[in-house]
Structure 1
Amino acid sequence: MVWKARGTRTALAGLAATLVAGLLAGCGSSGEQQPDKRITVWTQENLPPRMAATKKVVRRFEKESGVHVDLVGVDEAQLPQLIMSAAAAGKLPDVIGAVPLGQVWQMYGNGLLHTDVTRKIVADLGPKTFRSNALSLTADGDKRLAVPSDAWLQLLVYRKDLFAKAGLKAPTSYASALKAAAKLDKGGMDGMSLATDPSDVFTQQSFEDLALANGCRLVNDKGEATLDSPACRTSFKTYDTLAREHGAPGTQSVDTTRATYFAGRSAMMVWSSFLLDELAGLRSDALPSCPQCKKDPDFLARNTGIVTALQGPDAQRPAQFGEITSWAVTRTAETAASRSFVDYMMGKGYADWFGMAPEGKIPVRNGTPKDPDVFRTAWREADMGVDKKRSLKQAYPDGLTDQLLDGIKGMRRWGLTEGQGILVGATNGELPVAKAIGAMTGGQESPDSAVEEANSEVEALRKSLQ
């Protein structure tokens, strides 16, 4: 769900030079491999069930195309180092799957992507068959960095039953969320579960979700850090109120926030759409444990409402954080075989690809020119879960699938539209915002001092990457 790469500023600043040097030393002037109908594909969908599902699709592709695929599962946190090592040795894979936006932009900034091949793939498939926002976030002007595949969304989930009993409206704005958190924070119930762990990118993602909703930007059009803007200061103060005043005591992580909500001790929570199979009781290792859930396993799912896009007082429209993962073709790829492979994975193999985990792999390609809605329809019917299986349509009330699909339209990301994708990738490693959030919600710093610290760290990181 999240990228947990770690590193130092020195390592990040030196990454570009190391990678480019590796390419020049190991790949020659043209870079492209000689065609042999054999490609190496790395995938970050490396959990055993997902690797098994991917292998089935790959075997079908091999039989139909005559291209041999060496499939390798890689860990998301290790990808930057693995790419660096492979580039230095002149042994980059041809294709990488499930690449998050930050990593796509890092690879692009380091000259590792074959943007001409990905442009041709999208042209083959039909740009109009994709969600326009997904294409925008994976492009730099007219350069097509990668082929967007699927998305997960950051959601605000809330207890519909408690809200109705208290006469509260759905928490679609800062004001309504703050009002609900204060009113429902009583009797062993926390008003809100929010991540505060300074060492986890999930904390940074959770804050970015609320910050985007208020029009808070990481950088301005010149690339300068702008976390000290009035909109961002309001976001920091709001996060502090929700997490520290109305949340559980102590450091809250991706696991503890979910556990609190599942135990029925939290009225609201910010989490990703990967939550939905667990909330529906389809994973034995992460079952809802609320008092009512013992007799009625579907109680929490039935009584959970979902907000896909929040709006703050300084914003002109609602927005939310989300992640788009893509197929990336490397600079040294065997182009014909790689192109046919990605075409297949976004065509004949696409339903199987997003069907591995439909709650967290929302399709960003709607269909084909001949059948414009075929993939959206297949996604709605796809089974989610591990130990039990049900589709989103079966597990949740009518309208949720449309909410998730429509949520992609409201997805925004810090720094990408300003051309600062490399900085975005670096902040995911250094976590300056998560550290400031941790200090603020832990009581070591005021919201204003947390703002100054985060802004200073981001600006220093930006300068170190120049």
Structure 2
Amino acid sequence: MKRILAVLLIVSLSFVVFAQGASEAPAKQQEIRVLLANHPYGELLKPLIPEFEAQSGIKVNYESLQESQLTQKLTTEFATGSSTVDVFMTRPLQEGLLFIKNGWYGSLAKYDFGDYPAASVDLGRKDGVPYIVPLVIEWQVMYYRKDLFKKAGVKVPTNFVELEAAAKALTKDGVAGFGSRGKGAAAVTQISSFIYNFGGNYLENNVAVFDSPEALEGFRYYGRLLGNYGPQGIASMSWENLMPVFQAGKLAMWTDASVFLGQVVDPTKTNIPAEDIGVAQLPAGPNGDSPFIVTSWGMAMSSKSKNPDAALQFLNWATSKELAVKGMLANIPMSRDSAWANDTVRKNMNAELIATQAHAAKNGYPLDRPFMSAVGQARDLIGEVIVEAIDTKGTSTRLPALATEKAKAVNELLKADGEYGGK
């Protein structure tokens, strides 16, 4: 009997030990899926992700996509209910309205927005609920070759008349005088400042007005500049195509977003000494001096995230004050107020870039595209007008009719989404 009791005791103790061991087995590692843009900040973030993984114990599976591909992938996955994404970079002015309307962003009510300009946060807010963390601000600048200007005896242009004259003078010896985006929809953001500075706009009170005489002057001028003085094939070029041309020394002036300075002067990517590259504000037009200044990129969580706590932990890290300073020191203009006030940043950041930011902050326009849910389709329509202007070097006689046709189509998009402001 004693032997039987002893055996039972051993068995029961073994079971307890086994049960305890089973309960103490390590939990499965948390994993999140992150979609990043092929953007300077996305490139800065990627090599730092292993640090986050080591600190948090969270495995990050990330993908990096060109901006239009990123939007398309997110839209397709969300619309079909097949998405497994947890955190993603997003453009408040591009997909923000649509994604909020469709409930694809997760609430960020727990996030601390105290270090951001209120207007930038409001872009991604609905009914008091914030959905997007402002990440990067951009404004239009002009990158230029100081050495070529000096050699040609040309001053840095301060207005559109001087800009066209400089482009003409600098187009020689295999160098194009002026470059900016010419590829349809991609060019909508960069031509915006030209349209504003002729007195035009894309929308007024949620009605398309880019067929106005003022806007048409902007299209014609932009088309004339690029058609006459741009690189060959400019009507199919976006920033990804133009940057290498500038870095190769084949472009004297290039207007685009301020965020690209770090790559423009990177000695591993450019043939031009940094001291020969200047940054100036966009020249003024006849009716304005307002380059766009926008919250170009933000970061958001998916409303369908299976790991919301881990996702929020990653988002907090990826948008932290520390990484904002790293971004600024890499010449990426971040949205956090504290990053701009940082002493190290102010001592090391390009002084010309800081000057252009001060000008844009004071005089700039807060949109670089039509602010509407169907902005992607609207950009495609406006892009057709841009390409027509470039292909004809600004001389197209059908430009007014084409712009009116596309403006009517944009108004139909606004009506379909209940956003039209006309009668």
TM-score range, shorter chain: 0.7 to 0.9
Counterpart check, 1:432 vs 2:381: yes
Closer, same or farther in 2 for the Cα pair 1:113/1:188, shift >3 Å? closer
Cα contact 2:132–2:299 (8 A) shared by 1: yes
Closer, same or farther in 2 for the Cα pair 1:323/1:140, shift >3 Å? same
- For structure 2, which runs of at least 5 residues remain unmatched after alignment? 1-27, 419-423
One-letter code aligned to 2:279:
I
**In the aligned structure 2, how far is the partner of 1:280 from the partner of 1:415?**
28
What is the match of residue 151 of structure 1?
Answer: 137
Give the Å deviation of 1:125: 4.3
Q: 2:337 aligns with which of 361, 366, 375?
A: 366
Q: 1:403 aligns with which of 326, 343, 356?
A: 356
**In the aligned structure 1, how far is the partner of 2:233 from the partner of 2:356?**
33
Q: 2:164 aligns with which of 171, 178, 189?
A: 178
Q: 2:253 aligns with which of 240, 250, 268?
A: 268
**In the aligned structure 1, how far is the partner of 2:191 from the partner of 2:313?**
39
1:49-88 alignment to 2 at 5 Å?
A: 50=44, 52-63=46-57, 68=58, 70-75=60-65, 76=67, 77-86=69-78, 88=80
Closer, same or farther in 2 for the Cα pair 1:414/1:192, shift >3 Å? closer
Closer, same or farther in 2 for the Cα pair 1:348/1:185, shift >3 Å? closer
For 2:255, what is the secondary structure of its paired residue?
strand
**In the aligned structure 2, how far is the partner of 1:230 from the partner of 1:307?**
28
Q: CA RMSD in A?
A: 3.8
- For structure 1, which runs of at least 5 residues remain unmatched after alignment? 1-35, 289-296, 382-391
Give the Å deviation of 1:177: 1.5
Aligned residues: 380
For 1:367, what is the secondary structure of its paired residue?
helix
Q: 2:105 aligns with which of 113, 136, 142?
A: 113
Cα contact 2:120–2:295 (8 A) shared by 1: no
One-letter code aligned to 2:280:
V
For 1:363, what is the secondary structure of its paired residue?
coil
For 1:332, what is the secondary structure of its paired residue?
coil
**In the aligned structure 2, how far is the partner of 1:119 from the partner of 1:103?**
20
What is the match of residue 40 of structure 1?
Answer: 32
**In the aligned structure 1, how far is the partner of 2:82 from the partner of 2:181?**
40
What is the match of residue 10 of structure 1?
Answer: none
Cα contact 2:282–2:291 (8 A) shared by 1: yes
**Percent of residue pairs identical:** 19
Q: 2:279 aligns with which of 306, 313, 335?
A: 306
Counterpart check, 1:227 vs 2:180: no
For 1:362, what is the secondary structure of its paired residue?
coil
What is the match of residue 414 of structure 2?
Answer: 462
**In the aligned structure 1, how far is the partner of 2:152 from the partner of 2:287?**
27
CA deviations on 1:47-86 (whole Å, 9 max, x unpaired) are 99656424224225515xxxx3543325231443444334
What is the match of residue 319 of structure 1?
Answer: 291
Counterpart check, 1:207 vs 2:191: yes
One-letter code aligned to 1:71:
N
Cα contact 2:104–2:302 (8 A) shared by 1: yes
CA deviations on 1:139-173 (whole Å, 9 max, x unpaired) are 45744331101234432222334445666543233
Give the Å deviation of 1:186: 5.2
Cα contact 1:228–1:455 (8 A) shared by 2: yes
**In the aligned structure 2, how far is the partner of 1:41 from the partner of 1:215?**
44
Give the Å deviation of 1:378: 5.4
Give the Å deviation of 1:422: 1.1
Q: What TM-score do the two structures reach when normalised by structure 2?
A: 0.74
CA deviations on 1:158-197 (whole Å, 9 max, x unpaired) are 2334445666543233233123234444565543223333
One-letter code aligned to 1:312:
G
CA deviations on 1:269-289 (whole Å, 9 max, x unpaired) are 2233454344324334xx33x
Cα contact 1:191–1:266 (8 A) shared by 2: yes
One-letter code aligned to 2:56:
E
What is the match of residue 329 of structure 1?
Answer: 301
One-letter code aligned to 2:341:
D
Of residues 268-277 and 402-411 in structure 1, the stretch that sits farther from structure 2 once superposed is 402-411
Closer, same or farther in 2 for the Cα pair 1:425/1:261, shift >3 Å? same
Cα contact 1:251–1:442 (8 A) shared by 2: no
